[in-house]
Structure 1
Amino acid sequence: MPYTILLVDDETAVREGIRSRTPWERYNFRVVGEAGNGIEALELVEELHPDVVITDIRMPYLDGIELIQKIRLSHPTTTLVILSGYDEFTYAQQAMRYDVNEYVLKPVSVEDLCNLLKRLGKHLDEEIKRIQDQDRLNQAYQQALPLIREKFLVSLLTAVHPSSDAALLAKAAEYGFNLNKDEFMVAVIETDHVMEDPLQSMAMFEIVEQVVKKDDGVLLFQFENQIAIIFSSQSHGQDHYDAVFRKQTYRKAEQLQAYLQKYSFHAVLGIGNLVHSPSAIKQSYHQALTALNYSSCYPEQSLLFISDLEKLPVEEHQQQLEELKANVLVAVKMGSEEQVTEAVNQLLGEQLASLSLQDMQALLLELTFLLQDLTHSYGYTLFSMAEEEGRNLFSELATLTTLGKAKRYFTRLCLMVRLLIAGQREKSHIQFIGQAKSLIAKHFTEPGFGLEEICEMIGVSPSYFSSTFKKEVGNSFVKYLTSLRMDRAKELLIKTEGKTYEIAQAVGFAEPNYFSFCFKRHVGLSPSQFRQGNR
């Protein structure tokens, strides 16, 4: 598969010349898009995810240095090339700061461009080969962390009887870890590669390690065919630091996913809620696992934040449930009808044949209360629902004297609860999109209003919001917002005498020239031409 390139230059003739004269296919490259300014380029990067961005420096609205700065933050794996007519040390110095791969001076010949593509192709090939080098991976695989350090990290996630915070801090210091913090979030990464091949597992681990190794507040280790990450920070007693820490963790998770996708690791990240003590890290870990369980409901999502998926606290009693009971609840919450039936059949299978009638009915009663807890978390009451239908659950439970009867009864009951939850989830989804549209309608005229602002208002991560919004609305957030602004601009151009710069400000554009550019791209006419044609 060829590597993809985005060309960015404010001179159309330059872009067309480079695109038409360069034998891209010969060097295994393909141009997937062009942009005439930095803002347009940033939108295309979000949409196309190119392997390489070749950009000029001097451009309107957002120059090349600002563009690469933003790309490096949001898409750290992108290969960046500056193609500029300015041989200035300051630009080269800034380019080095943002890890630009090539700095090429204009004018460039076809030979220059071919040599550039050779170097870029070699760099990209070697980077992938380095990650997939089996000999190197085998050597790295043998170099595991000392067992005692790893055991301590695992105990933070799994200890049945967790130690006090003071004891954990003392042990952490002894093993060289700094847990003297008051903000923690746990992420768990799951992929098929880990299950199949230990070398691939190590390869993925190294990619993740490369992303987080510069961050002081990160602990990274492998555990039960997964990669666990403990993010931490210190709030210094300031409440607003919690929001900052969450946002930083969201961005780091998005960077991790970008790296994993680049090297073809199909991974899913589950992220738990923020907790405020080392002894509570276990809680965030179990929430991260719960988030991963939602991957079957949202197969298009590769980043699953528990705060996006469950607004109510996760009941800790599920940690003590036997595996088969937990499977029933998971199937009811997120599975198909076949999965619910299978889970009930497994729970009420032959292994219970030797139970006394009293023990079996105690088990059925416990399962009923677990289903009640589940329905209650979605705003319903199982017993009240039965009473509304003229039924009494306790009386019905007393009639279940055989496993066959119990199996048939609870299959029907669990399928009913599943339908109830599915309807509530769909209703919640619709409310989420409705809330987003209302906020956009309220704030779209404000300069600076964008993706980060609306995610902050709703309280969800940018990746979850973007994918959910596009799936439900059919348009990306940026296109939806731009369309809304353009419709209002057309209305103002027809009904008022406002100048172009006044209308630009009125619909949320701080830069009048960029407003004119967007308007012409969206409508096909300049603002003045549109006004003249509609008077």
Structure 2
Amino acid sequence: MKILIADDEHLIRLSIRHNLEKLNIPAQSIHEATDGYELLRELERLQPDVAFVDIKMPLLGGLEAIEQGKLVSPYTEFIILTGFSEFDYARKAIALRINEYLLKPASLDQLKAVIHNIMELLERKAEERNRLFTLQIAEIIAATKPAEDNRLPLEGMNCKLVAVCFDGLKETNRLRAEAWLDRARSCAKPYMSQHFHMTIVKPRDNEWILVLGIEKTWEAGNEKLLSCLSEIRHMTAAWRKEQGDNLTLITSNTIPFRLFLSTYGELLQMTCLRALLGISVDYSQSFLKAVIQDKPYYLTVCTLLVELARYQELQSPIEFGSAIERLIPLVEDQRLHENIRVISAMGLFLRCSIGLSVEADGGYSSLKSELLDYSKRLIGSQTDRSQIIRSIVTYANSHYADEISVAKVADLFDISPNYLSTLFHKETGNRFVEYIAELRMKEARKLLLETDLSIHEITRKVGLYSTSHFSKLFTKYYSVSPQEYKKNAASNRSQPPALPE
């Protein structure tokens, strides 16, 4: 607590200082002023939590100085010290919302009671301002304009963001993450004040963002912020040893609040990089930005790896398999499979996040084989007939332009082709081949309407290889050839709109 004593009598200042030091107030620092103008200068410079002010001082009286001082140090709580007990002084003190009015000399017990009351008041005000901070951050992230509130103007603040990523299996992850977050709050609590705020945002599963805000004008702000972050990092290092959790921290630079949204979005985009760089490590946002600039494909690969964990948790085997189909060629095209360190980090992430059974030094071929087998087991674990068909429909909707057949899909879902055909017709009312043909023709119609692609190009785009076969199929569905459909669509676009009657 930062305390300022303003009195023109040296012995009075010495007496108050002596008694305050006896109280052992946490983080106490005591400063002095000898007249009203010096009080104003010190208020502006120090921004103290509490100021003891004598009413009768040279150059500028105490009450006049307080009235002006509230403008330069709005969060200071003022305590009047005077040898006078006239009502006029008390009435003006009440009008200025002075917290206490003490007659000199103040005893140790009086000071103890006053400081206790002030500390409780400061704590209540800090909690209220932190509640406002939390509300405003939530409104900004939700893309709603935060209500203007002069009690906590965000434009006067700097902020720092810390992404917290827990990579573990669903059963224990949430409870351990909540326990860590409680410890993080405990680390930050001693620093919380009317100038220092923290809130926790949960943008998606297994990830949290700590948002710390400090007022720009607070002299000790940066020092307090660094100390708070240091305690959180030390606590996290101990947590990893105690709990064995795979907990990754990513810290942004300290930025003015006007850059909050862009920094927040960038941080969310980069958290996935832990999947290739290594989990359970502390990173800076600027380091991850440099990685992306050097290896932009890392972001795509890591995004797919994080999606695998999400699809596994959501029990979405088709999306899981589709992500693998995109992941493997990308890893091999960029020659990442030749980088032992990267493959080891990738294997560790998948082992921790989805429970993949792969050895740390098993190499890429082992990892690839286990991923493909895992995907097939995930699909095969479906026993409900309706669920199987829903998964097959989802697969067909995203792969109709590929080389797709009943036999291929049946093998993927580990069922017989005849059973797939029968089940599909029973559940959807369509034959599988007819469903694929309908998807292809709908896409072909869209391409004819919206693009300048040739008939040959559209044939390839929808997964067919014979233009004549495509034309016959399209004519069957729409009673007009693709060439005529395209011509009619172009003619309609060129016609001016009809005039109203």
TM-score by length of 2: 0.35
TM-score where L is the length of structure 1: 0.33
Q: Which has the larger radius of gyration?
A: 2
